[in-house]
Structures are given as C-alpha cells and as structure tokens.
Amino acid sequence: METMKAARIGRALAEADLIVIGASNGLDMAEGLNLFRADAHFREAYGDLAQTDGIGCILQGLASPDANVRRRWAERFHQKEYLEYEPSPLMNGLRHLTEHADTFVITCNIDGHFACAGFNENRVLETEGSTRASIDELRLAHPDALAAAQLEELARLVQAHRDGRVAILELGVGLRNDVIKRMLAQIANACENATYIVFNYSQAMAPDASCETILVDGDMAPAFEEVARWRP
C-alpha cells in the first residue's frame, strides 16, 4: 500500500471520535479462516468430519440439510474457531488502532472473533448470529432483544458523533453483502465529517456515500501493519 494512503488512513483513525467497523468473510480469510474452501486449516481441523459426512467445506457442513451433520459441524466449529481461537496479529492490530474511540462493529461473521479479541460485546452486532449463541440468518429481519438493544446503541452513537470525526472501516465485505454496505453508507451520509475506508481483495469499491473515501485493494494483514506504522 502506498505510504501516503497509509498515512491518510492512520490519521483518519487516530482523529476519529467514532469508528464503525463493518466486517465480512474477507476479514476471516485474512485471518486464515475460509468457510468456502478445503484448505490446510480445513483438513487439519475438520478432516475427520469431512470424510465421515462427505463435506467439502465448513459452510457446507454448517448448512447441511441433515440436522445431525449440522450439529456435529456446529460443535466442531465452536470448539476450533471460538474456544481455541487466539486473536491474530491482524485482529490485535485492529483493536489497537480503534480502542481510543467509541467503536461499534457490524459483522456477519459467526465465529465470535471480535469478542475474543477484546471488543465490547455490547457493541458487536452479529447480523447472522454467532457460534457463541445461535446462528440465525434472519437475525436482522427479526432481531432478538440483544440485537435490538445494539441497534439502539448504534443509533445513539451516530447521533452523538454526527458533528464530530467519524471513520468507517469496511473490511472484506463482498459486493453481494447489501445489509452491511447499506448500513455503513447510511451512517456515513448521516455524519458531517466521515471518512469511509474500504479494505478488500480485488473488490475494493467506493460506497454509496457522499464523503471522503479511501480504497485499499489487496491483502489486509500487511496493509494494517503499514497503517499502524504511519498512525500519528
């Protein structure tokens, strides 16, 4: 990543009063967790289940039409990706870059990594549920009490900081993830001094928002290391 761009991102984060993070599968992939491929981690952590159940990737196991298969894969996923998870340098770096500000996370990742890394659980909205609780793809459409309270907290934070400096981090959100992209764009448009920063591998596209935008196309982990070096 260019030095000037890293410095702009570092300054935007350092000066922000509110940081809103939107994260999807791209962040998990940057940490080494890929729900869609039979990679080395899949073979090591799930190889026995894959052979028994005839499963080709983690997502296929979690979404199996067979309830017994789903249960086995959910239990293994909870063990490997939550109970045994140790925050990666990428996740620790993200927390370090944002911990000075009011921070809110919107994520469709179901692994609970933000909570494990020390982010405030009350400000981590898991739109598709979590292995820490239940996995429910309709959670935003039919929010439970926790999700409803988190949405209220997000609205309160945006209202409190709408005239201040706001940084929005879109991390690995695919083009089809309209829920997170729409929420982040709405927040950006509601704030007077927002900077919208997109990290994505080959899909870093400008948001539907009228604010300063910084696009980073490439590997997220070294990009964050570069940002940390140039943060004031």
Q: For residue range 99-128, what is the model confidence (pLDDT) as tens digits?
A: 999 999 999 999 999 999 999 999 999 988
Single out the residue in 49, 83, 117 at which a domain terminates: 83
The number of folded domains in the chain is 2
Q: Are residues 64 and 117 in the same domain?
A: no
On whether both 20 and 76 belong to a single domain, the answer is no
pLDDT value of position 206: 79
Please check whether residues 105 and 217 belong to one and the same domain.
yes
Same domain as 219, residue 147: yes
Residue 103 sits in the same domain as residue 174: yes
Q: What is the pLDDT averaged over residues 132-137? A: 56
Position 144 scores a pLDDT of 74
pLDDT in tens, 150-193: 999 999 999 999 999 999 999 999 888 889 999 999 999 999 99
In three-state form (DSSP H/G/I as H, E/B as E, the rest C), the secondary structure along the chain is CCHHHHHHHHHHHHHCCEEEEEECHHHHHHHCCCCCCCCHHHHHHHHHHHHHHCCCCHHHHHCCCCHHHHHHHHHHHHHHHHHCCCCCHHHHHHHHHHCCCEEEEEECCCCCHHHHCCCCHHHEEECCECCCCCECCCCCCCCCHHHHHHHHHHHHHHHHHCCCEEEEEEECCCCCCHHHHHHHHHHHHHCCEEEEEEEECCCCCCCCCCCEEEEEECCHHHHHHHHHHHCC
Q: pLDDT of 57-90, one tens digit each?
A: 999 999 999 999 999 999 999 999 999 999 999 9
Query: Does residue 231 carry a pLDDT above 90?
Result: no
Residues 70, 144 within the same domain: no
Domain residue limits at 54: 40-83
- Domain stop point among 51, 83, 115: 83
